[in-house]
Structure 1
Amino acid sequence: MKTPRTPFLYQLATAGVGALLLSAAVLPAAAQTTTPTQPPAGSVPAAAPSGPYTLQRAIDVALQNNLSVRQSQLSAELSEATLRQSRLSQLPTANASASQSWNYGTNVDPLTFQFQNQTTRANNFSATAGLNLFSGFQVRNTIKRNQLDYQAGLSDIEKSRNDIALNVASSFLQLVLAQELVRANEARVNSSQQQVARTQKLLKAGSVAESNLLDSQAQLASDELNVITAQNQVAFYKLQLAQLLNLPSVAGFEIEVPSLPDPDDEAPLASNPEGTYQTAVGMMPEIKAADLRVESSLRGTEIARGAYFPRLSFGASIFSGYSSARIGRKLTGDSTIVPSGFIYQLTPTGPQAVPGVFAGILQPRFETLPEGFSSQVKNNLGKQVQFNLSIPILNGWQARTNVQRSVIGVKQSELRAEQTRLELRQSIQQAYADAIAAQRRYGSAKRQTEALSAAYRNAEIRFNNGLLNGTDFNIAKNNLYGAESSMIQAKYEFIFRRKVLDFYEGRALSL
Structure 2
Amino acid sequence: MKTLRTPFLHQLATAGVGALLSAVSLPAAAQTTSPTQPPAAALATPAPSGPYSLQRAVDVALQNNLTVRQTQLSAELSEAALRQSRAAMLPTANASASQSWNYGTNVDPLTFQFQNQTTRANNFSATAGLNLFSGFQVRNTIKRNQLDYQAGLSDIETSRNDIALNVASSFLQLVLAQELVRANEARVNTSQQQVARAQKLLRAGSVAESNVLDSQAQLASDELNVITAQNQVAFYRLQLAQLLNLPSANGFEIEVPTLADPDDEAQLLNNPDGTYQTAVSLRPEIKAADLRVESAMRGVEISRGAYYPRLSFGASIFSGYSSARIGRKLTGDSTIVPSGFIYQLTPTGPKAMPGVFAGILQPRFETLPEGFSSQVKNNLGKQLNFNLSIPILNGFQARTNVQRSVIGVKQAELRAEQARLTLRQNIQQAYADAIAAQRRYSAAKRQTEALSTAYRNAEIRFNNGLLNGTDFNIAKNNLYGAESSMIQAKYEFIFRRKVLDFYEGRAISL
TM-score range, shorter chain: over 0.9
- Which stretch of the first structure deviates more once superposed, 222-231 or 278-287? 222-231
Query: What's the CA shift string for 1:344-366, capped at 9, x where partnerless?
Result: 32345544332222222111111
Task: Quote the residue 2:37 is aligned against.
Answer: 39
Query: What's the CA shift string for 1:452-503, capped at 9, x where partnerless?
Result: 1111111111111111111111111111000000000000000000011111
Give the superposition deviation at 1:442.
0.2
Query: What's the CA shift string for 1:216-274, capped at 9, x where partnerless?
Result: 11111111111111111111111111111111222221111010011001111111110
- Tell me if structure 2 keeps the 8 A contact 1:83–1:147: yes
Query: What's the CA shift string for 1:186-237, capped at 9, x where partnerless?
Result: 0011011111111111111122222211111111111111111111111111
Residues in 1 aligned to 2:98 and 2:371: alpha-carbon distance in whole angstroms: 18
Question: Identity of counterpart residues, as a percentage?
Answer: 88
Task: Quote the residue 1:21 is aligned against.
Answer: 21
**How many matched pairs?**
498
1:336 partner amino acid: T
> For 1:384-395, what aligned pairs fall within 5 Å after superposition?
384-395=383-394
Residues in 1 aligned to 2:99 and 2:255: alpha-carbon distance in whole angstroms: 75
Task: Quote the residue 2:430 is aligned against.
Answer: 431
- Tell me if structure 1 keeps the 8 A contact 2:338–2:357: yes
Is 2:409 the counterpart of 1:416?
no
Residues in 1 aligned to 2:171 and 2:300: alpha-carbon distance in whole angstroms: 46
Distance 1:280 1:13, change over 3 A: closer
Give the superposition deviation at 1:167.
1.1
- Which stretch of the first structure deviates more once superposed, 9-18 or 372-381? 9-18
2:426 partner amino acid: S
Residues in 2 aligned to 1:362 and 1:353: alpha-carbon distance in whole angstroms: 21
1:141 partner amino acid: N
SS of residue in 2 equivalent to 1:260: coil
1:49 partner amino acid: P
Q: CA RMSD in A?
A: 1.8
- Tell me if structure 2 keeps the 8 A contact 1:340–1:359: yes
Residues in 1 aligned to 2:467 and 2:14: alpha-carbon distance in whole angstroms: 42
- Which stretch of the first structure deviates more once superposed, 36-45 or 328-337? 36-45
2:396 partner amino acid: W
Task: Quote the residue 1:161 is aligned against.
Answer: 160
- Tell me if structure 2 keeps the 8 A contact 1:311–1:389: yes
Query: What's the CA shift string for 1:275-311, capped at 9, x where partnerless?
Result: 0000000010001000000000000000000001000
- Tell me if structure 1 keeps the 8 A contact 2:300–2:405: yes
Distance 1:285 1:67, change over 3 A: same
SS of residue in 2 equivalent to 1:36: helix
SS of residue in 1 equivalent to 2:18: helix
Is 2:489 the counterpart of 1:490?
yes
Give the superposition deviation at 1:21.
2.2
1:487 partner amino acid: M
SS of residue in 2 equivalent to 1:18: coil
Give the superposition deviation at 1:11.
5.2
Distance 1:40 1:287, change over 3 A: farther
> For 1:120-131, what aligned pairs fall within 5 Å after superposition?
120-131=119-130
SS of residue in 1 equivalent to 2:377: helix
Uncovered stretches (5+) of structure 2, i.e. residues with no partner = 1-7
Query: What's the CA shift string for 1:105-130, capped at 9, x where partnerless?
Result: 11110000001000101111110000
Give the superposition deviation at 1:14.
4.0
- Tell me if structure 2 keeps the 8 A contact 1:92–1:132: yes
- Tell me if structure 2 keeps the 8 A contact 1:59–1:168: yes
Distance 1:267 1:287, change over 3 A: same
Distance 1:9 1:429, change over 3 A: farther
- Which stretch of the first structure deviates more once superposed, 401-410 or 340-349? 340-349
Give the TM-score normalised by the residue count of structure 1.
0.94
- Tell me if structure 2 keeps the 8 A contact 1:76–1:154: yes
Give the TM-score normalised by the residue count of structure 2.
0.95
- Tell me if structure 2 keeps the 8 A contact 1:36–1:240: no
2:408 partner amino acid: G
Task: Quote the residue 1:299 is aligned against.
Answer: 298
Uncovered stretches (5+) of structure 1, i.e. residues with no partner = 1-7
